[in-house]
């Protein structure tokens, strides 16, 4: 197979050289509702890779992105006690869940991923939609069988912050504090 970035022969969809040169994560921070959101990439730098999430190749691309960012973050993350991480709406819609892939890479001494705990009752897609559309069509998140006091929220992209805000509020309704949120990319970064 060929690397989708440089077209060199590779055993992976993105060769090791391109992963090292083009997919080196950075830490970008922004706040929504007084909650820190940590992102690893600027959206424009990896948008073509993110758009693979609805294709068969997306499974492999998201695993590469998650290993280069979420796994490295989890390996270095220290906290006084283990935290749970919850992927936002990690239903498998096209054979896999991109947020579950991200969440799974957080498995470490200090982070314990949980799956299928925060699901949207409204199946609306926010991809490419305006902030007004997002506000007019809430996801209506439902928490399933959760008994904890704190959690980390996981999503792939932060655009307007609407999805994360709704997820934070869903946790807050169950008296669960969102310690921080993790996303692959932030679309507000230029």
Residue 71: the pLDDT is: 97
Domains, the chain, with CATH or none: 25-186 (3.40.50)
DSSP-assigned states of every residue in 43-80:
HHHHHHHHGGGGSHHHHHHHHHHHIIIIIHHHHH---S
pLDDT in tens, 47-79: 999 999 888 899 999 999 999 999 999 999 999
Question: Using alpha carbons only, how large is the chain's radius of gyration in Å?
Answer: 16
Span of 71-85, 116-130, 156-170 with lowest mean pLDDT: 116-130
Average pLDDT, the chain: 92
pLDDT at 28 exceeding the cut of 80? yes
pLDDT at 36 exceeding the cut of 80? yes
């Amino acid at each position: 197979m060929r690397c989708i970035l440089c077209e060199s022969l590779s055993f992976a969809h993105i060769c090791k050289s391109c992963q090292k040169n083009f997919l080196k994560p950075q830490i970008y921070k922004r706040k929504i509702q007084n909650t820190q959101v940590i992102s690893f990439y600027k959206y424009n730098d990896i948008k073509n890779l993110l758009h693979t999430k609805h294709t068969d190749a997306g499974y492999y691309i998201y695993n590469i992105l998650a290993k280069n960012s979420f796994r490295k973050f989890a390996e270095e993350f220290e906290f006084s006690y283990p935290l749970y991480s919850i992927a936002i709406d990690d239903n498998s819609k096209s054979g896999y869940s991109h947020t579950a892939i991200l969440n799974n890479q957080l498995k470490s001494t200090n982070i314990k991923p949980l799956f299928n705990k925060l699901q949207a009752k409204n199946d609306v897609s926010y991809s490419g939609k305006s902030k007004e559309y997002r506000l007019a069509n809430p996801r209506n998140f439902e928490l399933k069988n959760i008994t904890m006091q704190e959690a980390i929220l996981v999503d792939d992209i932060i655009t307007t912050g609407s999805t994360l805000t709704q997820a934070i509020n869903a946790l807050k309704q169950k008296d669960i504090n969102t310690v921080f949120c993790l996303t692959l990319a932030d679309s507000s970064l230029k």
